[in-house]
Amino acid sequence: MAFHSYAFSQETAKIIVNDSLKSAIDLQGVTIIGDSILHETPQLSPTSDQRTDEIVASLDGVSLIRRGNYAAEPTFRGMSSGQLSITIDGMKIFGACTDKMDPVSSYVSSNNLESITMSSNSNHCSQGSNVGGGFDFQTKGPQFSQKRHISGSAGMGYQTNGNGRLANMNLNYGDSAWAVNLNANYQKFDNYTAGGGKVIKYTQFEKINFALTASWMMSNTQVLKAQLIYDNAYNVGYPALPMDVSFAGGRIYSLSYKKYLANGSVFLKAYGNNITHIMDDTKREWVAMHMDMPGYSDTYGAYAQAKFYVGHQHTLMINPDYYQNKSFADMKMYPNDPTRPEEPVMYMITWPDVKRYSGSVLVSDDFKINEKSNIKYSGKIEYVSSKVFSEFGIKQLAVLGKDGTIPSSYLLGNGDVAYTHSVGENWKVFGQLGYAERQPTVSEGFGYYLFNSMDGYDYIGMPDLLKERALKTSLGTSFSTNKTTVETKIFHYQFHDYILANIDPTYDGMTIGSNGVKIYENIPNASISGFEVNIATEVSNAIRVQNTAQFSYGIDNNGTPLQMIPPFQNTTKLGYTYKVVEFRVEAIVAAMQNNPRKNAGETTTPSYGILNILAQAPFQLLKQSCTASIRANNIFDSNYWDHLDWNSIPRPGRSFILNLKMSF
């Protein structure tokens, strides 16, 4: 297994996805902005046959909210949803599902990933203002060549649990002026079986993803690139929710231009994306009332990044950004009583044609003070305005006593300072101090009777919410040698005007069987604290060990635990290479979560431990380079679920994944 050293950055935690013979994914800089330092230590990482959400979960501080077997929602240090920004190649994309069934990460394929960047800096790159940071999924770009050259790979796999069928391909053409890359991925799963043998209904899905990218080298210093991602998912089951998804589709496209200067670079990008998400319950065995719930999200934007190197000490960046988004979702409810055929179909708009306009400017300076110290400071100002354009939606808000004709506008300010200092040859200390603000999400501001199956309440948004604010700090230290790195981090987020939904007894629930209504509001304050520890060492040329531990603790102004806070988790990876064959053992242990937020439908979650094993080796077939791998997940067939898994739906039991890949 080839090892890659960490790259110095005060910005990111990054997973680099190689298209190499061993199809490995190497962690490079597994640190968070303001917490990062220079390492020279090999890392063990996931294999490239894993799904996108599984790869994301290997980043420090990241956990996943699962509502089924598809499209898990990433969280970072106990923060999710509007507290984080998720982009693809820097493009802002917003899911079209009112139930968060389609996080942005679901519209990109692991086979098409070049890298995943996680930043705790709310100002990072072109991501929108937020309090928790953001993910950026960078896709594979085409590769130029001095001579005309065609290369690529094709792979296929099978997963025993769920009858999973997998196939992917990557094709690249490049010459000195043009380069084109075509990527495709297909997945189809039936219902999986939990530990102990129980079949979990409504965990099936089918997904196809195509990505086409073309680059033109206009000159030695200028590159023009066009990109298209076409993603469809069909018949997606969600056992933790009352409805499934018949179709989820994403169309993502962009045109970018980059100019290299003697002392920096200029990058321009215009983009658009159209997301369609259709929920229905026609595949369920019994429903009280049949419903259709389609959702749509259209986003268009453009941004620029001008980077300049001033002397040998400063790296300046200016990043203006603009985007607009339109979100619309509605619901039709069909009566099931055959004795009353005259009963009309009921109609409701759940996202009332909300249009959001945002403009921002980010300025940052990465300043190398001396050979031992580095400081990076950044600031961002964003103005965002949202308005309802549906007359029907305005009337619905009027029922709540809200004037939907008045735009909801926010001026958001964010600032961060990150410092790194070397203490001797092997020790570094680092820290970050920041202030962040975010606007409410569309659901928090304008959602209308959105049913939450976790706690059984209908949720209503309030368009006059205050912006959520946070002071955040992190401190850490690292010890590193040529073969070993030990890194520790502690962090604290102090929120003000924290956005949370609480019960309002003056409203009646609309969903059949609803426990009542919760309305989004600002509470005075809340906090999230925790730590992360990462140890990696090369015991010998053949043996490598990595251990990661993470913990978060969150409470509101009354001392009540916040919801969706993961418990302590520890992951240990042991890698062994014998000649060309690589073996890997991964042990994941999670502690009991005995601090649930009971009024959010959470219960105490038991601890669990699982063991995964991998073996892979290269070989030659028809003079082509190939890789074969076999992976056994949850080898002891444990019946378990994570605290962030909605309604305690058990995760898959024992599963074997076979994979074959050919490169040419």
What tens digit of pLDDT does each residue of 649-661 get?
999 999 999 999 9
Phi/psi of residue 45, each to 5°? -145, 170
Query: HSE (CB half, 13 Å, CA atoms) of 524?
Result: 3
pLDDT over threshold 80, residue 46 = no
Using an 8 Å Cβ cutoff, are 247 and 233 in contact? yes
Q: What is the pLDDT of residues 513-533, one digit of tens each?
A: 899 999 999 999 999 999 999
Question: What is the pLDDT averaged over residues 237-251?
Answer: 95
Q: How crowded is residue 286: how many other Cβ atoms within 10 Å of its Cβ?
A: 6
> What is the per-residue pLDDT across 321-353, written as a single tens digit (0 to 9) for each?
999 999 999 998 887 766 666 677 888 999 999
Strands 85-88, 134-139: pairing kind: parallel
Q: Where does the pLDDT of residue 363 fall: very low under 50, low under 70, confident under 90, or very high at 90 and above?
A: very high
**pLDDT at residue 625 is higher than 60:** yes
Report the percentage of the chain scoring pLDDT > 90.
76
Q: Token pair 């294999």 is at which residue? A: 47
The answer to whether residues 30 and 60 touch, using CB atoms and an 8 Å cutoff, is yes
Look at residue 16 in the predicted model and tell me its pLDDT.
52
Identify which has the larger pLDDT, 32 or 221.
221
pLDDT over threshold 70, residue 144: yes
Model pLDDT for residues 264-282, shown as the tens digit of each residue = 999 999 999 999 999 989 8
Locate 30 and state its tokens. 């597994």
CB 454 within 8 A of CB 461: no
Lowest mean pLDDT among 16-30, 125-139, 598-612: 16-30
- pLDDT of amino acid 1: 32
Closest CA to 142 of 214, 91, 229: 214
Contact present, 185 and 167 (Cβ < 8 Å): yes
In a 3-state reduction of DSSP, which class is residue 239?
coil
Contact status, residue 495 vs residue 131, Cβ threshold 8 Å: yes
Average pLDDT over every residue of 90-104:
94
pLDDT at 18 (0 to 100): 40
Q: Choose between 403 and 248: higher pLDDT.
A: 248
Residue 50, pLDDT above cutoff 80: no
Q: How far apart are CA 643 and CA 640, in angstroms?
A: 10
Which range, of 34-38, 113-117, 220-224, 599-603, averages the lowest pLDDT?
Answer: 34-38
Higher-confidence position of 613 and 52: 613
Residue 2's pLDDT is 34
Q: Look at residue 33 in the predicted model and tell me its pLDDT.
A: 31
Q: What is the pLDDT of residue 127?
A: 63
pTM for the model stands at 0.91
Q: Give the separation between CA 577 and CA 586, rounded to whole angstroms.
A: 15
Task: Name which of 511, 507, 461 is nearest 333 in CA terms.
Answer: 511
pLDDT at residue 43 is higher than 90:
no
Which amino acid, residue 654?
Answer: R
Q: What is the mean pLDDT of the chain?
A: 89
Q: Flag the least confident range among 168-177, 284-293, 296-305, 426-435.
A: 284-293
27 against 157, higher pLDDT: 157
Dist. CA 49–CA 123, nearest whole Å: 32
Share of the chain above pLDDT 70, in %: 90
The confidence score (pLDDT) of residue 341 equals 63
pLDDT at 48 > cutoff 60: no
What is the residue type of 564? M
Has residue 459 got a pLDDT over 90? yes
Distance of CA 510 to the CA centre of its chain: 32
Give all strands (DSSP E) within 424-483, no chain letters: 427-438, 450-452, 457-460, 468-480
More confident residue, 402 or 149: 149
**Which residues on neighbouring strands pair with residue 212, listed in sequence order?**
182, 228
